[in-house]
Amino acid sequence: MPTLPPIANLQAFEAVARRRSFALAAAELNLTASAISHQVSRLEAQLDIRLFERSAHGVRLSPAGEHYLMHVGAALNAIATATDDLRHGIRNSLYVHTAPSIASLWLMPRLHRFAQAYPEISLNLSAAHTPSDFALGQADIDIRYGIPQWGDLVVEPLFEEAIVPLASPAFIKAHKLKRAEQLLDLPLIQSNVSIVQWSDWFGRFTKLRAPDRFSLRFDRAQMSLDAATQGLGVALESAVNAGGHLADGRLKAPFGMDQAVRVKAHFAVYPERHAKRPAVEAFLSWLHSEAAQT
């Protein structure tokens, strides 16, 4: 096993990176700013790379430091959480990482049913666009979004999604929106991270070329849907993510669900070694049951 840096040095690095200040990191860790500075310097010397860029205006992470923090921060958090669980007698913890939009729009409204079915499991949920690193013990299961290219992991599709234009009833009425051709004269909302883009939809259902410019761009489906709800334009989004918006009438599909691009883009992903853990088996069983009802 490679030699690991002292955990105190890693904690000092993480605290400075998070607080953007040696003084604030020192106060948090009950050390002097000089001690924190020495710990960070020793870590940089061991790694033979500069983690911070220091100036009269303060301290900020170097590009290498940004990359290192992403892994070290998650690993320290996993250690702290596991320690806290052990201290409080929690033996059946489950760590689930997920893409942000599916977490807030689909998973969270259903979690009460998991808690009721498995009260003995302590669920820890995190969300980010970047996938979890199983090698660092960051998660037991990852719900990932995208094109599955994770050959060393077990990959289980969750459900088929209909990606469809969506707008508020007021917007549809105000613009008398009935035909796809009208979209070229209306504000379109771009969801940057979606695997189905407006060019895909126009190419599938029209002979028109999708516009190159968009009135609004977002990196979260939640924000794209909120913008459409506010009447700011037409969003191209998953009917699964928009389930609540469609159910209560905040959004509608102006051209119907027949003009939807159907994809499988959300997957439960985990290492084979996790498969037989009781908490993992329970969550996967529950997850597929919920997905089947979607």
> Which of 92 and 171 is assigned the larger pLDDT?
171
pLDDT band at 91 (very low <50, low <70, confident <90, very high): low
Q: Alpha-carbon dihedral of residues 187, 191, 195, 197, nearest 10 degrees? A: 10
CATH 3.40.50.1820 fits domain 92-157+265-292: no
Residues 6+ away with beta carbon under 8 Å from 282: 117, 118, 121
Whole-number Å distance between alpha carbons of 279 and 93: 7
**pLDDT tens digits, 217-250:** 998 899 999 999 999 999 999 999 999 999 999 9
Whole-number Å distance between alpha carbons of 235 and 251: 10
Give start-end residues of each CATH 3.40.190.10 domain in the chain. 92-157+265-292, 161-263
> What letter does residue 167 receive in the DSSP assignment?
B
pLDDT band at 42 (very low <50, low <70, confident <90, very high): very high
HSE-up of residue 261 (Cα within 13 Å, Cβ side): 20
pLDDT surpassing 60 at residue 95 = yes
> What letter does residue 98 receive in the DSSP assignment?
E
Q: What is 7-73's CATH number, 2.40.340.10, 3.40.190.10, 1.10.10.10, 3.90.79.10?
A: 1.10.10.10
HSE-up of residue 245 (Cα within 13 Å, Cβ side): 29
Give start-end residues of each CATH 1.10.10.10 domain in the chain. 7-73
pTM over 0.85: no
47-51, 130-134, 217-221, 223-227: which is most confident = 223-227
- Taking all residues of the chain, what is their mean pLDDT, rounded to a whole number? 89
Please give the share of the chain, as a percent, with pLDDT higher than 90.
62
Give me the residues paired with residue 262 across strands.
162
Q: Which spans in the chain are helix H?
A: 7-19, 22-29, 33-47, 63-87, 100-102, 111-117, 169-174, 198-205, 221-229, 243-247, 278-292
The H or E element containing residue 124 is strand 122-127
Pairing of strands 266-270, 141-145: antiparallel
Query: Closest Cα partner for 235 from 101, 100, 129?
Result: 101
Whole-number Å distance between alpha carbons of 294 and 292: 6
| Superfamily of domain 161-263 in the CATH hierarchy | Periplasmic binding protein-like II (3.40.190.10)
